[in-house]
Amino acid sequence: MVSFTAEQRNDIRTRYQRVDTSNVADVLDTLGYMDQGLSPDFLPYPHTAGRIAGWAYTIRGQMTPYELGGDAEKMKACQGLSEGDISVWSGDGHGICYFGELIAIGMKERGCLGALVDGGVRDVRWIGAQNFPVYARYRTPVQSIGRWKVTGCQVPVYMRGATTPLVQVNPGDFILADEDGAIVIPQAVVEQVLAEAEALTQKEETIRAELQKGLTLAEALAEYGHV
């Protein structure tokens, strides 16, 4: 497991905010990580949420009936979040939300920058008012209490994938999501992927500028190659 200082974590996160998931996906392909994209079912809530970029803090749960009155394990798990984290929620929830406005506020207070939810979210309007971006598979008014419980945190979890049924997310992996979707960057290659994605981004910006000046697409491809 790679260890980063707080300063390194913040620098890496800030730089990832300036690259697109599409370029990150292309770099991961060249490195042999072909199945890191998440299902297209993951959408921003609200739709104006914008991108998320941060370190994966994983939370796992499962459907199980129990008495109303809250989920102490969920609250305990959220206490572990820290600055720069993205809370990654996994489990077998069907038709229920994993969290709503109040938990989102608590996560934000701890420095959490957003959430990636392989399940449902509610209180979308109010979460949006908190400027707390969420990418989830669906929204629903139905609460998890009495139906779904947290069973662990900071453990490897699985999320629905784009090119494979499931993508493993480990604590400390990097999460990036934008208009094109969501992707997981394994911690072991997070710096290499970032550097190569930045170089690809710069190359694309150069091509766009040349096209604006009148260079044809065929000429651009001949000069700069495939991008």
How far is Cα 119 from Cα 138, in angstroms, rounded to an integer? 6
Judge whether 93 and 120 are in contact, CB under 8 Å. yes
Q: Which residues contact 27 (CB under 8 A, 6 or more apart)?
A: 193, 196, 197, 200
Judge whether 36 and 170 are in contact, CB under 8 Å. no
Residues in the annotated binding site for substrate: 100-103, 122-123
How far is Cα 182 from Cα 40, in angstroms, rounded to an integer? 8
Could you write out the three-class secondary structure of 84-129? CEEEEEEECCCCCEEECHHHHHHHHHCCCCCEEEEEEECCHHHHHH
How far is Cα 89 from Cα 151, in angstroms, rounded to an integer? 11
- Work out the number of other CB atoms within 10 angstroms of the CB of residue 79: 11
String of b and e for 205-222 (b: at least 16 CB within 10 Å)? eebeeeeeeebeeeebee
Residues in the annotated binding site: 100-103, 122-123
